[in-house]
Amino acid sequence: MAVFGVPLDQDEQVFYAYEMNMKSKKTTGMLIGAGLALIGFVSMWFVCITFIAIPIGGFIFYKAMNPDGNAIVAMALTSKRLLAIPFDQKAEHNEVSIAELEDIECKRKGKKVTHKRGLAAMAVNAAASAIKEHQQNQQAKTHPNYWTNAVELQLFLSGGRQVKWNIEESEGPNVGPLLATGLVRGWETLVPIEGYGAERTVSLL
């Protein structure tokens, strides 16, 4: 048995498995990058647009063609460990034993709440973001809302150690509550899943 190419023990059950669709991300990134670059070339008479659109478009296109090899593109939670598989097929996967896991938190993607400009607007934005962050942190970590806009999973381990892994923004509300539930109610309360990928597929280019 295996999940995303990582061998599993005979008695190891899988509670969660997610694989990022890198093919879709590559196509989307290439289209956006090429589109911005094209806008830059078409708008040559608007120098400011050209100077902005072409470099940004080229960067997005390049990143779409050459993703970060260390970026986590697949993740799985089992009855023994939490696995994180990087994009680079030659790189070793990361794993954390659930027996060492003491707490979890997340880093959220910041979002502006106003279109106003200036120092006053910056202060309003900062205050609104702080209030929203506080409200989310007040919610139980077993609730999906706590994990809304999460882009980084922060794992607090025994011995004062900490591990940080990037996660897909859409997957925070899925994996976060599972981890929190396992910590609060016991890992035996989680329900095993079937049909997960034994090997990586869509996260390969």
Look at residue 4 in the predicted model and tell me its pLDDT: 97
The structure's pTM equals 0.75
Q: How far apart are CA 18 and CA 4, in angstroms?
A: 9
Least confident window among 2-16, 108-122, 152-166: 108-122
What is the mean pLDDT of the segment spanning 100-108? 94
Between 57 and 199, whose confidence is greater? 199
Look at residue 140 in the predicted model and tell me its pLDDT: 86
Between 196 and 119, whose confidence is greater? 196
Q: How far apart are CA 147 and CA 178, in angstroms?
A: 11
Q: Is 78 exposed, middle or buried (0-12, 13-18, 19+ CB in 10 A)?
A: buried
Q: Is 7 exposed, middle or buried (0-12, 13-18, 19+ CB in 10 A)?
A: exposed
- Scanning the structure block, which residue is given the tokens 């400009």? 117
How much of the chain is in helix, strand and coil states, percent to nearest 5?
40, 25, 35
Look at residue 116 in the predicted model and tell me its pLDDT: 47
pLDDT band at residue 124 using 50, 70 and 90 as cut-offs: low
